[in-house]
Structure 1
Amino acid sequence: MNKAIWTGITVAALGLGAVSWTAQVMAQGQGQTVMGQTKTLFGGQVSSWAKLDAKGQVLEAGITVPMSVVEKAPLPGPNDKPQAEGGPGFGPEAILEFPAAVKKTTFLDHVQVWWEGFGHPPERYLTPHFDFHFFGVSAAEVAKIDCKDLTPPALELTPKGYAPAVPPGANAAEFCVPLMGFHGVPMSEFSAPGQLKPGLFDHVLIAGFYKGQYTFTEPMITREFLLKKQNLDLEVSRPAKTGRKTLYPTRFKLTYDAKANAYYLAYSNFQAGE
């Protein structure tokens, strides 16, 4: 996440190695784990996957991130400068498609992993961190997010417990990020209306929008937090009405597996919504 909160919004190792995303399936009890894609990131293998029940319904959808990826994520040098939004080289470090079962039956389509070595303004987010964009639209659609459409998300799209992605009366152009869109931040990030909490953050769950649609859910997690090998279990809040009838995740879990020395980032507890 970048400019949407720069301005403050009055806001693998599963032990699988390189896996073919077209074929890999592992039996697991009465259900199965189906692999999506595997990509190389900072010398490690990050993979997408889904856990299905005996009827083929999605129980979990997520990615595996080896600890080596966290440890080897490059920190900026004294002469390095942050990427300019929309400029040369601006884009995610890895894009992972989900298995077909996830795409067909749930909100989730693919994951884009961004590494923010500098962090980004405001001060609360000026620390190295990962942005894990779990998109509900295709990568081809995301590539077209150029912020030429500055229609602010309708207030009814604001998830419960979140600040509006574009405050009423604000200039929407200041809150749109190319290849991402508009970002909604939980109210828990604020100490007062329009005032973010002091100090550096460690993790936050963002909601994303573009062209009047709910488009992504984004765990934003610092490198420092990940190096501590901690777990998270968060409620996922979505708009009451999205205009899309599908299954939406209601839980997000970050789980460290000591044996694999890797993190699993997973969405689960899917419920019908529209």
Structure 2
Amino acid sequence: MNTQSVFFALLLLLFLSCQEDEKVQTRFTGPEVAVGDGQAWTVVNTDQRGNPTSLAVEMDADAMEGLPTGQHHPPSYVLRLPTGVDLPPYDHITLDWNEHGHEPMHVYDVPHFDIHFYFISETERDGIGPDDSLAFNKPLPAENLPPDYLETPGGVPRMGAHVIDLQSPEISGEGSFTHTFIYGKYDGEIIFLEPMVTTEFLRTKPDVTAQVRQPQEWQHAGYYPTNYRIAYDAGKDRYSVVLKDFVSVQ
């Protein structure tokens, strides 16, 4: 085989290799769940090597309509992670609709979604009881508490306790609540990550990205976001709340 033939053979191999790379799946979607008049689901994106780059909850625009009203206990929709991709430490997600918001009054008492990205299983979450005050109030180790975050007293059954962002406008007194990022804990461990966003803000069809301040150390190996994004896709008429720009912790 002459030099020219070798050159073209190498080009052909390179082309075929690129074609194979394009076939690598990089978007994995979880099962759809009925929310309002629409649907919601989870999405994991990976790079060509299979490394996770983001984890999102997506919902179509109809999910914003026909949401339950007048319920004493706000509905919580359980969203399963996609199959075919491994993304520790995440186990499942709940999309919680709060028609009248929740405490504290004059801060979070407006219609909004709480999106809980849980590290624990549903069985473990269901085991969190109303009288678990010791576990609710057990502090995080200092190295696991993100800077300018405050552990609040008490907790919520089947959920956990909340660690709020002191830099958020609604907490610092610089503005009202549109979206924020909260940590969840139980028995001295971080058990969920929680973006919160008002329906009023979603209806502005936003595209905002905000930093997720990190603790000095994470308690478990896995992928953790350095940013989160809230966005509306006009072409697909859908909303997304995304944990993105992961760091890998071994």
TM-score range, shorter chain: 0.7 to 0.9
1:4-43 CA-partner distances (Å, limit 9, x unpaired): xxxxxxxxxxxxxxxxxxxxxxx97754211222101112
Superposed counterparts of 1:120-199, under 5 Å? 120-121=102-103, 122-147=105-130, 148=132, 150-151=134-135, 152-156=138-142, 157-163=144-150, 165-166=151-152, 172=153, 175-189=154-168, 197=173
Task: Spell out, residue by residue over 1:228-265, the C-alpha distance to the aligned partner (whole angstroms, 9 max, x if none).
Answer: 11122011223322321222121211121001111122
Q: CA deviation at 1:146?
A: 1.2
Instruction: Specify the code of the residue in structure 2 equivalent to 1:203.
Output: H
Within a 5 Å distance, the mapping from 1:182-221 to structure 2 comes to 182-189=161-168, 197=173, 200-221=176-197
Q: CA deviation at 1:54?
A: 1.9
Return the alpha-carbon distance in structure 1 between the equivalents of residues 22 and 58 of structure 2: 17
The aligned length equals 225
Contact 1:95 1:110 in 2 (8 A): yes
The question of whether the paired residues in 1 share the 8 Å contact of 2:169 and 2:177 is answered with no
Q: What displacement does 1:205 show?
A: 0.7
Residue identity opposite 2:122 in structure 1: A
> Normalising by structure 1, what TM-score?
0.74
1:117 aligns with 2:99: yes
CA contact (8 A) 1:35 1:48 kept: yes
Contact 2:30-2:80 within 8 A present in 1 as well = yes
Distance 1:95 1:105 in 2: 17
Give unpaired runs (5+ residues) of structure 2: 1-20
Q: Structure 1 residues 41 and 239 mapped into 2: Cα distance closer, same or farther (>3 Å)?
A: same
Distance 1:123 1:222, change over 3 A: same
- The 2-side partners of 1:107 and 1:236 are apart by 17
CA RMSD of aligned residues (A): 2.4
> Partners in 2 of 1:213 and 1:37 — Cα distance?
29
Q: Where does residue 42 of structure 1 map in the other structure? A: 36
Aligned partner of 1:99 in structure 2 is: 82
TM-score, scaled to structure 2: 0.80
SS at 1:141's partner residue? helix
When structure 1 is superposed on structure 2, of 48-57 and 141-150 the one drifting more is 141-150
- Equivalent residue in structure 2 for 1:33, among 17, 27, 31: 27
After the TM superposition, list the runs of 4 or more consecutive aligned residues in structure 1 that deviate by more than 3 angstroms. 27-31
Question: Sequence identity, in percent?
Answer: 27
Post-superposition shift, 1:153? 2.4
Q: Would you say the 8 A contact 1:91–1:179 is kept in 2? A: no
Whether the aligned pair in 2 keeps the contact of 1:35 and 1:99 (CA below 8 Å) is yes
What SS does structure 2 have at the residue aligned with 1:69?
helix
Contact 1:204–1:220 (CA under 8 A) maintained in structure 2 = yes
| Offset, 1:108 | 2.1
Question: Residue 256 of structure 1 corresponds to which residue in structure 2?
Answer: 232
CA distance in 2, matches of 1:57, 1:101: 12
Q: Which has the larger radius of gyration?
A: 2
Superposed displacement of residue 91, structure 1: 6.1
User: Residues 24-103 of structure 1: matches in 2 within 5 Å?
Assistant: 30-74=24-68, 76=69, 80=70, 83=72, 90=73, 92-100=75-83
**Structure with greater helix percent:** 2
Do the aligned partners of 1:48 and 1:98 also contact (CA within 8 Å) in 2? yes
- Report the counterpart of residue 18 of structure 1 in structure 2: none
Paired with 1:117 and 1:245, the residues of 2 have a C-alpha distance of 36
Q: Which has the higher contact order (CA 8 A, sep 6+)?
A: 1
Equivalences for residues 2-21 of structure 1 within 5 A: none
Task: Please state whether the residue corresponding to 1:72 is helix, strand or coil.
Answer: coil
> What's the counterpart of residue 15 of structure 2?
none
Specify the SS of the correspondent of 2:202: helix
- Give the 3 Å change call, closer, same or farther, for CA 127–269 of structure 1 in structure 2: same
**Residue aligned with 1:243, SS:** coil
